[in-house]
Chains A and B, each alone.
Chain A
Amino acid sequence: MNGLAFLAALALVFSGFSTLSQTLDRHYADRNGRGSVPGTAERVRLHGLGWAALALALAACVLEQGWPMGTVAWVGMLTLGALPVVVLLSCAPALALRAAGWSGALGGCGLLALRALP
């Protein structure tokens, strides 16, 4: 697995999990004030973005090393990418969602570069 694919997948997993964390009442309330819950449309949007990022991470792993090895790498990525989400949500919840946007964009660019580069 080359470094670019690794970083792209990791950024996408981090982005996906940070986004998905906002569908959970506790973490949504941490950012938007006590007692607030995401509306239905917001929830659907967060779920869609989050799962899409995780799926793109799977794509990055599988494109890079095929289905058997790619799936194994993806599951490992899920663990490695989720750990910083836990840390960030507990010490700087506002930062988590901002970082999710950036890392998602960077991961997407990385994925495109993987396809574009020979």
Chain B
Amino acid sequence: MRAGLRQSMAWLHGWSGLLVCWVLLLVFCGGTASYFKDEITLWMKPELHRAAAAPVPPAEAATLAVAFLQRNAPRSPRWFISLPDERSPVTQVLWIRAPGEPGSGIGGSRGRFESRTLDPATGAFLGTVRDTRGGEFLYRLHFDLYYMQPLWARWIIGACAMCMLVAILSGVITHRRIFQDIFTFRPRKGQRSWLDAHNATAVLALPFHLMITYTGLVTLMFMYMPWGVQTAYRGDLQAFNNEAFGRAPLGLPSGQAAPLVPVAPLVAQAMRHWNGAGPSRVAITLAGDANATVTISRGSAGALSVDEPSMRFDGATGKLVATSGDAPAPASQTRGVMVGLHEAHFAGPLLRALFFVSGLSGCVMVATGALLWGVKTRQRQAKALAAGARPSFGLRLVDALNIGAIAGLPIAFAAYFWANRLLPVAMAHRPDAEIRAFFAAWAVAAVLAQLHPARAMWRAQLWTGALMLAGIPVLNALTTDTHLGATLLRGQGPAAVAGFDLTVLALGIALGAAAWVLGRRTAARKAVPAARQPHGARDAKGAT
């Protein structure tokens, strides 16, 4: 009976993994990069590398941002201000355009939203900073995908995450020697080595994998399972949001003009209430109207939960209207901690690095899992292949998709960063062009893989990815002053920029090592007077 259970779980693990593994790889790569979303954005805006000089007090930055918005978006119903912190040295403002107002055409204009990056010390629009979506694109990519409605994308991602959860649980059940083999890796043993690598990256980071998959579903639970809220609140989602998250309801304008109170005293009052903890965001509705509100949210740094305590003030009188999140209810706190664990906003640089390594281990787990399916299937077809038959349709498809995803994705990521440095700074629709570079590079890699899914293609794409990633620090040195020489040796420029350069360099070297090992194997195989090995029938990777 036990063997029967293990076998059925192995079947379930194989198929629930295989069907979604390529989407999951994208999600894992994008999500892992998102741990350093702000740092990636900073790297992609080299004009800001010098701005990280003296920190500006939050009250001052908020006052200057409000002044900017009063000049530039007086009729907008909602303003959002992200104040500078250690990870992001600038003030970011975002507003909803007033009805009927046309888009500015400046890059930070998406849908109904306009956004600008401001100098925190002067409140001036940093117009010379290149327009890019930076790490935000990679973050959105990992649950909204691209080129499709976010709603559809989130359902797809949800289904894939559910399959992942099934694959993790069935994988644990089917792994007979989970404790005995926990440190085992046997290199140069073909299928055995791939299985060991898959097991090691899966089991050693198992707490992370379980947590990230489950909490990933929790982040979107009100979309996947809306019925509880709908029943309890009789369909009034606004009321639920107000109660659960302390979100200010968007009131209607009174029509009576009333000047907005200065925000600096409100920020000071909020900081006193939070024992000196600084605010991270300020949201203002209906500025200039008698019904205006000012909501100040504390940063979540230092607490596991993602729900930030906030204080809401009357925008015309400055009176405190409500505080929320000081003593959250247990259910709300549970959700907050789960989402917090997923996003890791609380983590300092070193803890963040631990999440990043666990995420990378997840990428390797998904990639080796996908490869294993091909390796196993190829072994089953070994006799026919040796006799000169072509690989089955499924095997060829999986091989091609594996090359396109595993070797192609690093190329796409690298292309995104290369485009960021090589496109003209003042180009129109620059962020879109960068994103097109990502998908164009990926499409080329995927199509080439479909045309010729063979060992040579693996090597070519792995080398391309390796050179493109390892070339990024060189490109950075050629196009900016904050290269590794300056950031590491002379200590100039933000440490995040050096960290980015070193990380992509290490990833490039790792890919290069993979390509090199693969090349040596191919050479060794050619040296042996092998049995007839028709072109294209050689295995994709590693089944030596």
B354 A26 Cβ-Cβ under 8 A? no
Q: Report how far A62 CA is from B125 CA in the complex, Å.
A: 43
Contact of A24 with B by CB under 8 A: yes
B361 A76 Cβ-Cβ under 8 A? no
Tell me the smallest distance from the CB of A17 to a CB of chain B, in Å.
7
Given A24-B183, A26-B180: A83 and B204 interface contact (C-beta under 8 Å): yes
By a CB distance below 8 angstroms, the chain B residues around A1 are 348, 350-351
B361 A72 Cβ-Cβ under 8 A? no
A82 B204 Cβ-Cβ under 8 A? yes
Q: Report how far A19 CA is from B354 CA in the complex, Å.
A: 22
B361 A83 Cβ-Cβ under 8 A? yes
Interface centre among A2, A3, A86, A91 (most CB of B within 10 A): A86
Q: Report how far A3 CA is from B349 CA in the complex, Å.
A: 10
Tell me the smallest distance from the CB of A64 to a CB of chain B, in Å.
10
A-side interface mostly: helix
Q: Report how far A83 CA is from B364 CA in the complex, Å.
A: 13
Contact of A21 with B by CB under 8 A: yes
Contact of B373 with A by CB under 8 A: no
Contact with A along B179-199 (1 / 0, CB 8 A): 111111111000000000000
Contact of A89 with B by CB under 8 A: yes
By a CB distance below 8 angstroms, the chain B residues around A77 are 354
Residue of B nearest to A68 (CB): B304
By a CB distance below 8 angstroms, the chain A residues around B179 are 24
Q: Report how far A17 CA is from B357 CA in the complex, Å.
A: 18
Contact with A along B197-211 (1 / 0, CB 8 A): 000100011011000
Size of the B side of the interface (Cβ < 8 Å), in residues, is 26
Q: Report how far A59 CA is from B208 CA in the complex, Å.
A: 20
Contact of A92 with B by CB under 8 A: no
By a CB distance below 8 angstroms, the chain A residues around B181 are 26
Residue of A nearest to B187 (CB): A90
By a CB distance below 8 angstroms, the chain A residues around B355 are 76
Q: Report how far A21 CA is from B208 CA in the complex, Å.
A: 22
B351 A76 Cβ-Cβ under 8 A? yes
Q: Report how far A68 CA is from B304 CA in the complex, Å.
A: 7
Contact of B240 with A by CB under 8 A: no
Contacts of B295-354 to chain A: CB distance below 8 A:
304, 341, 346-348, 350-351, 354
By a CB distance below 8 angstroms, the chain A residues around B341 are 72
B348 A21 Cβ-Cβ under 8 A? no
Contact of A6 with B by CB under 8 A: yes
A69 B357 Cβ-Cβ under 8 A? no
Closest CB pairs A-B (n = 6): A76-B354, A90-B185, A79-B205, A82-B204, A1-B350, A6-B350
The chain A residues found within 8 Å of chain B, CB to CB, are: 1-3, 6, 17, 21, 24-27, 68-69, 72-73, 75-80, 82-83, 85-87, 89-91
